[in-house]
Structure 1
């Protein structure tokens, strides 16, 4: 059994399709089929059931998938270790970030990192805070960056920055709130999905601004910051988002900020306690850490 056979098996298992796996691996369909057949013949086990053009894992295949994924992760760690012997000049870093961090805060830091380390590839995936924590805990990425608090026994969480949540609405609705014609308690609220850091900040803000409706479901729940802001700009309701995210809408006049002081929201770097961190990963993580005296004071005050 080779790592290449394992890589092919996992690709087919995750997609349940030989042709799609072959395309993702830049191999021919016959090469992928041959690798699977050789693996099954060598160990006298059937790993896939053929269902028309698709395939599905057998019970043996389902059991083997977890082991194969773990072996591939171990191989990747070994590869990182060897690459580290050559320093930070080459290699790859896999990072996952929640939407606010990944779309608005992280790109400039990746650009600075790439300028200093042009030979290192950075692979970024974006999800909500819960999804990023799962990826970090599984060892599938080098580290995660989130704007929500995460409690997980296998993860370290280090505060690296913060942002300011703001309450925003379309100009007409903002004017009604400011004149007293519409109270925050009676307004419709638009929110991100459960599991996102922005949703956690939203719920915290409601407890401060309108505690009587803090436990009520939002009028509209959407899966991205952009969708939330577009809906709010169209008059669907009021929301709480990061100032980083709302800035273009506020500058253009599409949204207005409503009064109300909200606590700052910390950004955290998540690392696995037992996963080896390569030099390129540590270098990118260092680029993300605070360097100013102000941030050091904030970290000290929050106990992070």
Structure 2
């Protein structure tokens, strides 16, 4: 049994279509069929039932599939280790980041990283703080970047300078440009906010607590799943929001939005990794790039 045969088997088992599996692997249909036939002949059992023009996994095929996937995962981990030893000439980083970071803060860092390490590929997935932490914990992300607080002993954390939240309204709103809004005055406003679980929402509600305001006292007119949706709704006059200055900077310059004079503190972003997983060189290289390029990062736990 060869690794190539296992790859073909898994691809065919997942698609239940030899031609599509062969195309995905860059093989001819005959080569993929021959690989499956050789595997079945080697062990004297059928892994697939051929029913007309369709195929289905046999019981043996269904039992073998998770083992085959585990073998491929082990081979991938071995390849990652060898890529590290080659001195960052090969490799891949799976990153997971919350929306503000993924959309506005992280891309320039990734561009600099790719310029320095052009043979390291990078993929980025977007989720809220809870989703990012789960991805790192479960090993589907090498590094996570979040705005909110993370309380998980298995996750190592690095705090880096982030951004500032601003209170913003549409340019035609009565509060546009107001300098002396008190915390008590904001309770009766119609609010447009990110969803619960987002870092922006978490930081905003914590800041309200510092002002002595219960977040449950606010009138939330809209709860939206993205920064862009919040910004567009507020530009249209739907209400007031608190959002990252990075998100609304261009709209403020263009005069479509205006700030309101209720200050919010600077916030940090948090880079997280799994504390028990292998520290790939590509991870360390990206972290070093960010650490070297930012003023005075505070390490909450050694990364």
Give the equivalent residue in structure 1 for 2:290: 288
1:113 aligned to 2:146?
A: no
1:277 aligned to 2:279?
A: yes
Aligned runs of 1:4-19 on 2, under 5 Å? 4=4
- How big is each residue's C-alpha offset from its partner over 1:166-203, in whole Å with a ceiling of 9 and x where there is no partner? 111112225379489x9311111111122221221232
Change (3 A) 1:177 1:251: closer
Q: Secondary structure at the match of 1:78?
A: helix
Which one of 188, 194, 197 corresponds to residue 195 of structure 1? 197
Q: Alignment length, in residue pairs?
A: 300
Structure 1 or 2, whichever has the larger Rg, is 2
1:88 aligned to 2:88?
A: yes
Q: Which moved more, 1:74-83 or 1:10-19?
A: 10-19
1:139 aligned to 2:139?
A: yes
Q: Secondary structure at the match of 2:105?
A: helix
Give the equivalent residue in structure 2 for 1:258: 260
Q: Is the 8 A contact 1:161 1:290 kept in 2?
A: no
- How big is each residue's C-alpha offset from its partner over 1:228-281, in whole Å with a ceiling of 9 and x where there is no partner? 110111111111111111111111111111112212222111111222122122
Change (3 A) 1:7 1:118: same
For 2:58 and 2:267, the matched residues in 1 are separated by 46
Where do 5+ consecutive residues of structure 2 fail to align?
A: none
Change (3 A) 1:269 1:208: same
* TM-score, normalised with respect to structure 1: 0.77
Aligned runs of 1:144-155 on 2, under 5 Å? 144-155=144-155
Which one of 220, 223, 230 corresponds to residue 222 of structure 2? 220
- How big is each residue's C-alpha offset from its partner over 1:200-247, in whole Å with a ceiling of 9 and x where there is no partner? 123224434571443657221111110111011111111111111111
Where do 5+ consecutive residues of structure 1 fail to align?
A: none
Give the drift of 1:146: 1.3
Give the drift of 1:59: 10
Q: Secondary structure at the match of 1:75?
A: helix
- How big is each residue's C-alpha offset from its partner over 1:19-58, in whole Å with a ceiling of 9 and x where there is no partner? 87776655678877887898799889999999xx999999
Q: Secondary structure at the match of 1:288?
A: helix
* TM-score, normalised with respect to structure 2: 0.77
Aligned runs of 1:56-71 on 2, under 5 Å? 70-71=70-71
Q: Which moved more, 1:38-47 or 1:70-79?
A: 38-47
For 2:77 and 2:277, the matched residues in 1 are separated by 8
Q: Secondary structure at the match of 2:252?
A: helix
Which one of 236, 249, 253 corresponds to residue 238 of structure 2? 236
Q: Is the 8 A contact 2:177 2:258 kept in 1?
A: no
